[in-house]
Amino acid sequence: MRPPERFTRRTVLTRTAVGLTGGAIASLLAACTSAGPSISAPTSAPAAAPTSPPAAAATSKPAAAAPTTAAAAAPTTAPAAAGGARGSGAPLKILMWQGPTILNVHLAQGTKDTIASRFGMEPLMTVGADGSFSPVLAAEVPSKDNGGLGADGQTVTYKLKPGIKWADGQPFTADDVVFTYQYISNPDTAATTLGNYVDLASVEAVDPMTVRLTFKAPTGGWYVPFVGSAGQILPKHALEQYVGAASRDAPFNLKSFGTGPYMVQDFRPGDSLTLVPNPNYRDPGKPFFSEIDIKGGGDAPSAARAVLQTGEYDYGWNLQVEAQVLNGLIQGGKGELVTGPGGGVEQILLNQADPNTEVDGERASLKSKHPFLTDIKVRQAMALAIDRDTMARQLYGPTGNATANVLTTPTNLASKSTTMEFNIDKANQILDQAGYTRGGDGIRMTPSGMRMHVVYQTTINSLRQKEQDIVKAGWQQIGIETELKSVDASVFFSADAGNPDTNSHFYTDVEMYTTTFGSPFPLNYMKSFYSGNPDTDVAQQSNKWAGRNYTRWINADYNNLLDQVKAETDVQKAQQLWMQLNDLAVNNYIPIPLIDRNNADGKLKTLQGPSLSPFDDLSWNIADWSRTG
């Protein structure tokens, strides 16, 4: 077990600010790739995969503007588990090199934590890779035909499945759904999922098995609250004493339980998680595995090796590994890739506040202004100096494509108006004309005489460090001195409000990571650049850095567009608004999109059932996983 202080001290690696220039980048890229056969996705779909088509769609993304109901999206029964006793299979071993640090999804900062909680906690519905709904705790998908969707576009009524119990035996009712809303919407809770719920006016229990959602205005995104990973329902009886300021004190956060197939037996944050079958799970023949052992730590290449080459683990999450490394490991024959669309966009964020100056005791305060990243000419030049095509080709291969968009999934929301250009000469010309002059060592000075030095942080990951090197090489060529910083992923994505090295604190000039989509109505995703209510929307000390906007970018036009799309019920009009939001953020160079990633995990060939979706966590259908042989 790692010591408790592991998550309050800085765990970083920094690399010299002396950059690669001229032909050095060519040598770097040569070292990042090697000749060999290309990687391909598994040639057969997992036997227990849902009938929604993630395996077939590995090279494409869903194009539905809004999910449609489809019985085909419902999980199928895993053959090996059917008719068998609950927990009759041998333990499942999962390697998550970014170890979970909290088990309450509504306080989580990273995908690693939402995955962990999803093994036991459930939403009202999930959304398949093809954009279709499946009821989970809901008895049916609301529609106008069944009376679930109000004609005014402001109400949604869910009927709940009868007879559902929490893992401790207490009955699940509409009161739990109401409580979950109250918990999240309390500003003192500082819920990280608040963006999915702020447009609700009320959530009320019509009767014990019926709950009605009323929105503040008509909306096309009625399916955002209580759906997918961020929709996980909390047990009222376990958390009603921990709403608001006491939210972080709940024992539940480290030993959560839900209505799902597994429950927590033991948890060591950042290190290990042991799950056992929920004795009150509604299907007596599921789940298959006697326990799930999740190990945190290490890195993506070692996770890939432990599954694909040595077979030490059954499943490895988030194999963000260089293409040629994955190719070599797959040749071992023990494992195969599990791929799916919509893995998120790897992007660079440019801080609009000053991370090096304290205002009222707070770094990167909204009251401060970055000395040069607030200049759009500087941001534009930095974007021009990044070779995204080479990064995608040499480092990602089939697991990602260069992109000019921050919103890429569903594909019909991807803008056609943005451009992607790598042009060092043009970048230098822009900076020259803007008055940023070079010193004797080639590093530029601002018009006020400040040296243009940036600290650029991301997680410790060999692929990401090579991405950093490519970016740094370009920035050094345009006269921006670049210092690289790498933070342990369990710290970087931690929900620890006291740790200065989290991505939400953003105490550097530049940071890079992948943001996932979460919902086919990408409201919470695009809130990364929204500041309608800065007190809650912008990450800062007063809200425990729970706000989605880490860059501290304030733009009234963006805010107005997002407010407009929330209320737009016309699908085609909403589609255009989403594209405009993407274009406004991208063309202001607040995010610099790099790679449109596919989901890419690894599994042993004997493991059946994993099916990746861009709109829910890998654990969404864990009840249907099994093992052959």
pTM: 0.69
Sequential DSSP letters for 336-394: EEEEEEEEEEEEEEE-SS-TTSEETTEET-TT---TTTT-HHHHHHHHHT--HHHHIII
- How many Å apart are CA 503 and CA 485, to the nearest integer? 12
pLDDT > 60? residue 56? no
Cβ-count burial 494-514 (b if 16+ within 10 Å, e if not): bbbbebbbbbbbbbbbbbbbb
Q: Which residue from 262, 244, 242 is spatially nearest to 252, judged by alpha carbons? A: 242
pLDDT > 60? residue 7? no
- How many Å apart are CA 171 and CA 469, to the nearest integer? 54
Q: Comparing 82 with 297, which gets the higher pLDDT?
A: 297
pLDDT > 50? residue 157? yes
Range 12-31+342-518+592-598: architecture per CATH: Roll (3.10)
- Residue type at 138? A
pLDDT, position 571? 84
Angle at 609 between CA 604 and CA 611, to 5 degrees: 100
Sequential DSSP letters for 400-411: EEE-S-S--SSG
- How many Å apart are CA 510 and CA 355, to the nearest integer? 10
Mean predicted confidence (pLDDT) in 283-292: 96
Contact at 8 Å (CB) between 496 and 502?
yes
Question: Which of 392-396, 406-410, 496-500, 551-555 ranks highest by mean pLDDT?
Answer: 551-555
- What are phi and psi for residue 187, nearest 5 degrees? -60, -30
Confidence of residue 494 (pLDDT cuts 50, 70, 90): confident
First to last CA, the chain: 33
Within 13 Å of residue 20, how many CA atoms lie on the same side as its CB?
19
- How many Å apart are CA 201 and CA 427, to the nearest integer? 47
- How many Å apart are CA 37 and CA 35, to the nearest integer? 7
DSSP three-state, residue 591: strand
- Residue type at 477? Q
What pLDDT, in 10s, does the model give residues 437-461? Answer: 999 999 999 999 999 999 999 999 8
- How many Å apart are CA 336 and CA 250, to the nearest integer? 39
At 387, list the tokens: 């070779």
Mean pLDDT of the chain: 87
pLDDT, position 475? 98
Q: Which of 21-35, 101-115, 160-174 has the lowest mean pLDDT?
A: 21-35
Give the position of tokens 């900076």.
431
Q: Which residue from 628, 599, 603, 601 is spatially nearest to 78, judged by alpha carbons? A: 628
Contact at 8 Å (CB) between 321 and 307?
no
Domain ranges of the chain: 12-31+342-518+592-598
DSSP three-state, residue 325: helix
What pLDDT, in 10s, does the model give residues 466-489? Answer: 999 999 999 999 999 999 999 998
At 66, list the tokens: 């809004």
pLDDT > 50? residue 45? no
- How many Å apart are CA 512 and CA 125, to the nearest integer? 31
What pLDDT, in 10s, does the model give residues 344-364? Answer: 999 999 999 999 999 999 999
What pLDDT, in 10s, does the model give residues 182-235? Answer: 999 999 999 999 989 999 999 999 999 999 999 999 998 999 999 999 999 999
pLDDT, position 341? 81
- How many Å apart are CA 552 and CA 537, to the nearest integer? 9
Angle at 179 between CA 178 and CA 180, to 5 degrees: 90
Contact at 8 Å (CB) between 592 and 575?
no
pLDDT > 90? residue 110? no
At 70, list the tokens: 């489809």
- How many Å apart are CA 567 and CA 572, to the nearest integer? 13
pLDDT > 70? residue 275? yes
Contact at 8 Å (CB) between 585 and 406?
yes
- What are phi and psi for residue 353, nearest 5 degrees? -100, 170
Give the position of tokens 């037996």.
265
Q: Which residue from 207, 189, 196, 204 is spatially nearest to 231, judged by alpha carbons? A: 196
pLDDT, position 132? 85
- How many Å apart are CA 155 and CA 148, to the nearest integer? 8
